[in-house]
Amino acid sequence: MSESLKVSIDGMTCGHCVASVTEEISSIEGVEKVDVNLNAGGISTATITSSKPIDETAVGEAVAEAGYTLVSNNG
């Protein structure tokens, strides 16, 4: 059974930002899909689907590694 998590991310402005965040989050064990809704210059959202429980700390670290800020976990 898949698990999903929606998070808010600050600082993304373009398609390259989306690609960077998607790549970093996708490297987390169990992650099957990452859908990013870009709100350039505002707060973007990412919905993460995983075959395993999602490690929220790892998501925050992945977003930071991509150069952006995890604002909140929206469940």
Q: What is the pTM of this model?
A: 0.91
Cα 36 to Cα 22: distance, rounded to the nearest angstrom: 7
Q: What is the pLDDT of residue 41?
A: 87
Q: What is the phi/psi pair of residue 16, to 5°?
A: -65, -40
Question: Is the pLDDT higher at 63 or at 2?
Answer: 63
38-66: average pLDDT: 96
Residue 74 pLDDT grade (very low, low, confident, very high; cuts 50, 70, 90): low
Query: Domain map of the chain by residue range?
Result: 3-73
Q: What is the mean pLDDT of the chain?
A: 95
Q: What is the pLDDT of residue 50?
A: 98
Architecture of domain 3-73: 2-Layer Sandwich (3.30)
